[in-house]
Amino acid sequence: MSRTWAWLFAVVCLSLLTVQVSAEDKVPGPQLPKGWKFTMPAGDPEAGKAAFEKMECYSCHTVPNADLPKARTSGGVGPNLVAGYSALPASFLAESIVNRHAYISGTLERYTGLDKVSSKMGDYSSIMTVRELIDIVAFLKHLGPAPAEHR
């Protein structure tokens, strides 16, 4: 019995010693800088237009006055990307592409899936590069202010 108590005492002492040493040697983890927020890097609107065409975004989205080579063929599955989208924050536009279920533009049923919650937009995360995302956002931001009929 005394042997068991000796082992128990040794284990408790070592545990306390380890806790004390760990607390003294603990290095603080990474900290966010005060006031930090994510900002999109600058993109190339022309490269964004090319990526928009490559991903065939025009098959669901109309972009007025963007001189895209093909007309929309899907019957308006996605919202029209009128010039007013340039007023939205770049980070919101990027999230709308990479996290397509987070916020669905408008309340039209044609934009949502059968569950009426998820977006019909495809998942581009396996085929779109980060650079293409940045450039597509720059393309949308470059469209300018919304015309009077879209305000």
Name which residue leads in pLDDT, 151 or 95.
Answer: 95
Which of 27, 46, 68 lies closest to 135 in space, CA to CA?
46
Rounded to the nearest integer, the mean pLDDT of the chain is 75
The reported pLDDT for the residue numbered 126 is 86
Q: What are phi and psi of 112, to 5 degrees?
A: -105, 160
Distance CA 123, CA 78 (A): 14
Distance CA 126, CA 29 (A): 32
CB 66 within 8 A of CB 143: yes
- pLDDT tens by residue, 42-99: 999 999 999 999 998 888 888 877 888 665 555 567 777 876 778 889 998 898 888 8
Exposed e or buried b for every residue in 29-58, given b needs 16+ CB within 10 A? eeeeeeeeeeebeebebebbbebbeebebb
Domains and their CATH numbers in the chain: 45-150 (1.10.760.10)
Tokens linked to 140: 């949308």
Tokens linked to 6: 């000796």
- For the cut 50, the answer to whether the pLDDT of residue 8 exceeds it is no
Strand partners, 119: 112
- For the cut 50, the answer to whether the pLDDT of residue 7 exceeds it is no
Distance CA 27, CA 30 (A): 9
Q: Global pTM?
A: 0.69
Mean pLDDT of 26-49: 88
